[in-house]
A and B are shown apart, each in its own frame.
Chain A
Amino acid sequence: MSDLGAHVVILGAGHAGGTAAALLRQYGHLGPVTLIGDEPLAPYQRPPLSKAWLKGEADADSLALKPLEFYAEHQIDFRPNTRAVKLARADKIVTLADGQTLTYDFLILATGARAIKLPVPGAELAGLLELRTAADAEALKAAVGPGKRLAVVGGGYIGLEVAASGRALGAEVVVIEREQRLLARVACESLSDFFRGVHEAHGVTFEMGASVTGFVGEDGQVTGVTLADGRTIACDAAVIGVGATPNDELAADCGLDTARGVVVDLEARTSDPSIFAIGDVAHRPMPIYDRMFRMESVPNALEQAKQAASAITGRPAPAGEVPWQWSDQYDLKLQIAGYAFDADEVLLRGDPASGKFAVFHLKGDQIQSVEAINSPPEFMMGKQLIGNRKPVSKAKLVDLSVSMKEVVA
């Protein structure tokens, strides 16, 4: 079912929504495309916010997915600073916050996710920051600098990237993590230990196994983070990076299937054939792992934008991808492919002390995921092997004298 003249309304102008709009035009869609975003900016890249942008190595122009003129030139009706508040599926009408209504033929939900807030006393103090948007990053940049004390709540990727950038800007940085190790949900122990060592070598301090019970302040400005053991960690600003939750309320309210995200099929279509959901908000099938889940990554946003734009314009669906993501901290390049679902063995290739190694998670003799530090061959080959499900020789995989091209069993 494709109709190149259909009106496509995209709710959410992040990486997923912005890419879907551009791809619709690239794929020959002729009908009107309306792109609704609740930020003042046209679609931009979020990953640099915690890295190059925070350190002043990237500007607004380089963050933008497309130049602003692009949208008018390609007849994409981009509307910033507004959001959808209601969806009437029977009539295919979206109501915006300013009261305007739009009638769609196809709707793409690209509403993303929002940072989880800590339900503790003092959470309303100034100087408590999160990092989702360019505006958040602007506030953070203003709050860090030489001599400033920055508390980072949450030792996940966002928190660690902020810690690294904070140190680069000369701030004192303490990371407060609830678990006993960093990246506890996503990485194995050797990787957690490695990252902690690197950050400590750069002067970051850690409070592990520490529960935040509240924030204290003076004149409305945060001055400290209180912990369950009674201590207060003094700070001038705090960044909360404890995960995100999908913005799926609009979908749930109008009866679309949701499950911690909007449930979609392999072409990103929801339980309503006229509505798609892409990016952080989507709960999608991933055949190589034989399950459904929700991902928060740029490659996921791009892939699903391709799926939805392909379905709407009648193109064949893109070939299934291997999910992946990356993180930059100091001079480390971390590349991760796949997810360690059902893994029964963890193998280390290379020596963490060398600053260059990879961790493979295997299920039987198949690779489920790889975390590669400064090791592109391990990442690239691992990603291929996750996709093609070829068995690997474990003996070769841990042997650095055997090249990654030769590890197939």
Chain B
Amino acid sequence: MAKITYIEHDGTEHVVDVKTGLTVMEGAVKNNIPGIDADCGGACACATCHVYVDEAWKDKTGESSAMEESMLDFAENVEPNSRLSCQIKVTDELEGLVVRMPESQH
């Protein structure tokens, strides 16, 4: 279990406990947190679960795959700390993780 803070583009914060083994995307979707659409359910096929990972967490959230990089390259409002949240597995190490959401997922 890890406590994760999801911050919507308008600043609204949602703090939820997410089971280890789930992805950061699933943590948002299963808690009905707006701003992460995840149309494809985690297949890395749509880039609608785009988040910004706070710099401090960059190492712990791991490297993105070539497929993820490639999808992100064409998403909107991409920043160096952009990730697809369906590709980040929740571990105990991610206790306290903060992710922010872009203005839009499309």
Contacts and interface: CB of A to CB of B under 8 A. Distances in A.
A62 B39 contact: no
A315 to B, nearest CB: 12
Interface of B is mostly: loop
A67 B30 CA distance: 6
Given A62-B26, A66-B32, A48 B41 contact: yes
A48 B75 CA distance: 24
A335 interface: yes
A45 to B, nearest CB: 5
Given A66-B32, A70-B32, A324-B46, A302 B71 contact: no
B34 interface: yes
Scoring A66, A326, A328 by chain B CB atoms within 10 A of each residue's CB, the highest score goes to A326
B32 A333 contact: no
Nearest to B34: A26
A70 B30 contact: yes
B1 interface: no
A81 B70 CA distance: 42
Contacts of A65: 29
Contact of A335 (B29, B45, B75, B106): B45
B67 A333 contact: yes
A328 B45 CA distance: 10
Contacts of A25: 32
Interface of A is mostly: helix
A326 B45 contact: yes
B56 interface: no
Contacts of B22: 62
A4 interface: no
A377 B70 contact: yes
B54 interface: no
Contacts of B74: 376-377, 380-381, 384, 404
Given A65-B29, A70-B30, A326-B45, A377 B40 contact: no
A344 B29 CA distance: 41
A298 interface: yes
B17 interface: no
A214 interface: no
A376 B41 contact: no
Contact of B41 (A67, A298, A333): A298
A47 B43 contact: yes
Nearest to B35: A26
A64 B44 CA distance: 18
Q: What is the size category of the interface that chain A forms with chain B?
A: 20 to 34
Q: What is the size category of the interface that chain B forms with chain A?
A: 20 to 34
Interface in A110-155: none
B32 A26 contact: yes
A47 B43 CA distance: 10
Given A47-B43, A70-B32, A380 B75 contact: yes
B32 A376 contact: no
A377 B68 CA distance: 11
Interface in A33-73: 45, 47-48, 62, 64-67, 70
Interface string B13-47: 00000000010001001101010010111011111
A299 B29 CA distance: 15
A201 interface: no
A22 B34 CA distance: 10
Contacts of B41: 45, 47-48, 298
Interface in A8-25: 22, 25
B32 A74 contact: yes
A302 B43 contact: no
A353 interface: no
A25 to B, nearest CB: 7
A302 B37 contact: yes
B33 to A, nearest CB: 9
Scoring B26, B39, B47 by chain A CB atoms within 10 A of each residue's CB, the highest score goes to B39
Interface in A370-386: 376-377, 380-381, 384
B45 A333 contact: yes
29 contacts: A26-B32, A26-B34, A62-B22, A62-B26, A64-B30, A66-B29, A66-B32, A70-B30, A70-B32, A74-B32, A302-B37, A302-B39, A321-B106, A324-B46, A326-B40, A326-B43, A328-B43, A333-B44, A333-B67, A335-B45, A376-B70, A376-B71, A376-B73, A376-B74, A377-B70, A377-B73, A377-B74, A380-B73, A381-B74
The 9 A-B residue pairs with the shortest CB-CB distance, nearest first, are A380-B74, A376-B70, A326-B45, A45-B41, A376-B71, A299-B39, A26-B34, A22-B32, A335-B45
